[in-house]
Amino acid sequence: MRSYRDGRLYPGTTICWLALPLNTRTLYNQNVYDYAHAYLIGSLIILPFWSLPLYHRKDLARELLSMSVIGGLLAVLFAPPFLHDYWHPTYVLPLWSFGGIEDFIYGFFIVGIASVVYEELFGKKFVKRKGRKKSFSRFALPALVLYALAFYLPVYLGLPSIYAALFSFLVLTSVIVSIRHDLLTDTLVSGLIVGLLTLVGFLLFVKIYPGVVNRFWDLNNVNSTLIIGIPTGELLWAFGLGAAAGPVYEFFAGQRFRK
C-alpha cells in the first residue's frame, strides 16, 4: 500500500523519496489504512458500464478491448505529472515511480467505455469507408508522439497537469474532426456521456468514501472548485477524454457509421 503526498510530512509515517520524471519528487506515505483501497474500488465502480457493450454488442469487442488496453497503458505513462500537482491517491498495487496498477485498471475501463459508448447507446454500426483504400492507421504512432508532446510540453512549461490534459484532448479532437467532419457527433456525444457517467460514478464513490476528495485531491494547487462535492477538473477531464477517445478508433481504422 502506498499513498502519494508531495512535499508533505505527517507524524508517525514511514516515508521515502523516489525520483520521478519531469524533476518531480513524490513522498510515499504508508499509514493511510482507512482509504487504502479507495482508488481500486473507485476504478472498479465503472466495470458494469464497460461489461455491458462487451456482452450486448459482440461486433464492438475488438474496438472495446483494443482501446481498453491502449487506455490502460497510457494511463500509467501519463500518471506521474498528475501525482505531482493534482492528486495523491493511495495505491494497493504500486509501480515504481509510475503510480500503480489502479491507474491501468481505471484507464482500461474508462477509455474502453468512451470508445464504444456512442455506438452502444444509439445502435450505430460502421462499415469500411468507400473511396479510400487506406486508413490512417499508419499515422497512429506519429499521432501518439504528437499527443504526448501536446501533454508533456505544457507540463514542462509549468502548466498544471489537468489543464495540460485538457489541452491535449482539444488538440486531438480538433485534428480528428477537421479531417473527418462526420465524426463530430460521435465526439460531442461521447464526451457528454462519459462526463455523465463520471458524475454518477463519482457520486457513488464519495458516498462510499466521504472524505476522499480532501484526502486525495490537491484542489488549491490547480485552482479547482467543487460541483456537488466533485472536483470540476474531473468532470472536464471526463468530457475531454470521452470526446477524444470516442472517435479515435473509427478515425484511424478508416471506418464510418452505417446510415
Residue 28's pLDDT band (cuts 50, 70, 90): very low
The strand pair at 226-227 and 255-257 is best described as unpaired
- Greatest mean pLDDT among 16-25, 133-142, 227-236: 227-236
CA separation, residue 22 to residues 75, 80, 84 (Å): 17, 9, 9
pLDDT at 156 over 70: yes
Q: What is the pLDDT of residue 20?
A: 38
- Side chain identity at 5, as an amino acid letter? R
pTM (whole model) above 0.75: yes
Closest to 39 measured CA to CA, from 83, 73, 69, 81? 83
Please name the helix (run of DSSP H) or strand (run of DSSP E) that holds residue 18, with its range, or none. strand 17-19
User: How far apart are the C-alpha atoms of 205 and 220, rounded to whole Å?
Assistant: 21
Between the CA of residue 102 and those of 72, 99, 139, 179, what are the distances in Å?
9, 8, 29, 35
The residue whose grid cell reads 456521456 is: 193
Residue 13: per-residue pLDDT: 35
pLDDT tens-digit profile of 37-59? 999 999 999 999 999 999 989 88
* Count of residues making up the chain: 259
Using the predicted structure, report yes or no on whether residue 135 has a pLDDT greater than 70.
Answer: no
pLDDT at position 254? 83
pLDDT at 9 over 50: no
Alpha-helical regions (H) of the chain: 38-44, 47-56, 61-77, 79-85, 101-122, 140-156, 161-179, 184-208, 212-216, 219-222, 232-245, 248-253
Provide the sign of the torsion angle of the four alpha carbons 78, 80, 84, 88, taken in this order.
positive
* pLDDT of 171 above 70: yes
What is the C-alpha to C-alpha distance for residues 42 and 230, in angstroms, rounded to an integer? Answer: 14
Cross-strand partners of 20 = none
Binning pLDDT at 50, 70 and 90, where does residue 130 land? Answer: low
pLDDT at 21 over 50: no
Whether 150 has a pLDDT exceeding 90, the answer reads: yes
